[in-house]
Copies of this chain bind each other. A is one copy, B any other.
Amino acid sequence: MTNSDRPASELASSQFNPSEWVIDGNESIALSIHIKGDRLFKEDSPYQTVEVFDTYGNGKMLTIDRMVMCTEADEASYHEMIAHVPMQTHPSVKDVLVIGAGDGGTIRELVRYPGIERVTMVEIDEAVVRASKQFLPTISSAFNHPKLNLLIDDGIKFVKEAADASYDLVIIDSSDPVGPSEGLFTKSFYEDVYRCLRTGGVVTVQSESPSYNPKAFIELNQCLKQVFGSDRVHCYLVFIPMYPTGMWSLTYCSKQGPHPIENFDYNKATQFAKEHDLHYYNADVHKAAFCLPTYVQKMING
């Protein structure tokens, strides 16, 4: 084993040129991804700044307002865990609503299921979809799938106007609670989501990081418990090395639906993960992800 496995960081520190890195941080901690060559895409859309970069070792990377959304190397962890945890728990999903998810990774995972009849995806910013189609083909590969109905529209307005009890699964795959995603972190939004779910229906939500943005994590958990009932809200954790601090949460909720551990079919999930050669998700990880470190439990259980 040689020193080249992990350069002493004195090296990085003295040579660190911020202009060569995308820096995603707050006032105490930052993640930086080294970018290679010229920026591939930049657009100031009506909502946000959408950019695509090439990186050293992590493939192409999508950022919104310079926050890392995904890299080719790592995106499967997030997309598999937000899609397969509910899909392996609910026994018969036919109608899915996806809010956000403009890069396409979540729908790529959903269309693996022949039982799904329709996926309605509502993304507010067509620039994200366009950037992903052009530069992230392995992530955006399902945009032409016949089951997909892609709407460029405001997800908050969409769920407000959606018919009652129309979906078996709703996935809220939002960016962070700044800019256009801020309204996706409110009680009135989740009341609409609840209403448009069928009884027995399930939801997964990108629910921020207990270590990086604890306030948003706690507030969203409280909001979900108010809407779904506290015994129907289950937080789970995923290792996402490309997000600041690497510890990210998703939250599974249901409308009087199945419990994500007690009612999930271990053998079916094992077979599915193997068949599809998944990157991160497997049946053991499904169960393990809900086992939270004690300090995270305390954050959400008061």
- Cβ contact of A211, chosen from B178, B182, B239, B282, cutoff 8 A: B239
Given contacts A1-B216, A6-B216, A219-B1, whether A285 and B294 have CB atoms under 8 Å apart is: yes
Oligomeric state, in number of copies? 2
- Minimum Cβ distance to chain B for residue A295 (Å): 5
The reply on A275 being an interface residue by CB < 8 A is: no
Residue among A65, A208, A278, A288 with max Cβ neighbours from chain B (10 Å):
A288
What is the interface residue range for chain A against chain B? 35 or more
The reply on A57 being an interface residue by CB < 8 A is: yes
Give the docked Cα–Cα distance between A13 and B8 (Å).
23
Q: Give residues of chain A (73-87) contacting chain B, Cβ–Cβ below 8 Å.
A: 74, 77
Q: Are A57 and B28 in contact (CB under 8 A)?
A: yes
- Cβ contact of A279, chosen from B8, B13, B22, B295, cutoff 8 A: B295
The reply on A152 being an interface residue by CB < 8 A is: no
Measured CB to CB, the nearest residue on chain B to A16 is B18
Given contacts A1-B185, A6-B216, whether A239 and B241 have CB atoms under 8 Å apart is: no
Give the docked Cα–Cα distance between A181 and B5 (Å).
13
Q: Give residues of chain A (19-45) contacting chain B, Cβ–Cβ below 8 Å.
A: 21-34
Q: Give residues of chain A (162-178) contacting chain B, Cβ–Cβ below 8 Å.
A: 176-178
Q: Are B65 and A10 in contact (CB under 8 A)?
A: yes
Q: Are B1 and A23 in contact (CB under 8 A)?
A: no
Which residues of B have CB within 8 Å of A9? 22-25, 30, 65-67
Q: Are A8 and B178 in contact (CB under 8 A)?
A: yes
- Minimum Cβ distance to chain B for residue A16 (Å): 5
Q: Are B294 and A6 in contact (CB under 8 A)?
A: no
Give the docked Cα–Cα distance between A179 and B1 (Å).
11
Which residues of B have CB within 8 Å of A239? 211, 237, 239, 246-247, 293
- Minimum Cβ distance to chain B for residue A39 (Å): 13
Q: Are A24 and B1 in contact (CB under 8 A)?
A: no
Residue among A9, A29, A280 with max Cβ neighbours from chain B (10 Å):
A9
Given contacts A280-B293, A287-B291, whether A33 and B29 have CB atoms under 8 Å apart is: yes
The reply on A112 being an interface residue by CB < 8 A is: no
Q: Are B10 and A26 in contact (CB under 8 A)?
A: no
Q: Give residues of chain A (253-294) contacting chain B, Cβ–Cβ below 8 Å.
A: 273, 278-282, 284-285, 287-289, 291-294
Residues of A at under 8 Å CB distance from B?
A: 1, 3, 5-10, 12-13, 16, 18, 21-34, 49, 55-58, 65-67, 74, 77, 176-179, 182, 185-186, 208, 211-213, 215-216, 219-220, 237, 239-242, 245-247, 273, 278-282, 284-285, 287-289, 291-295, 297
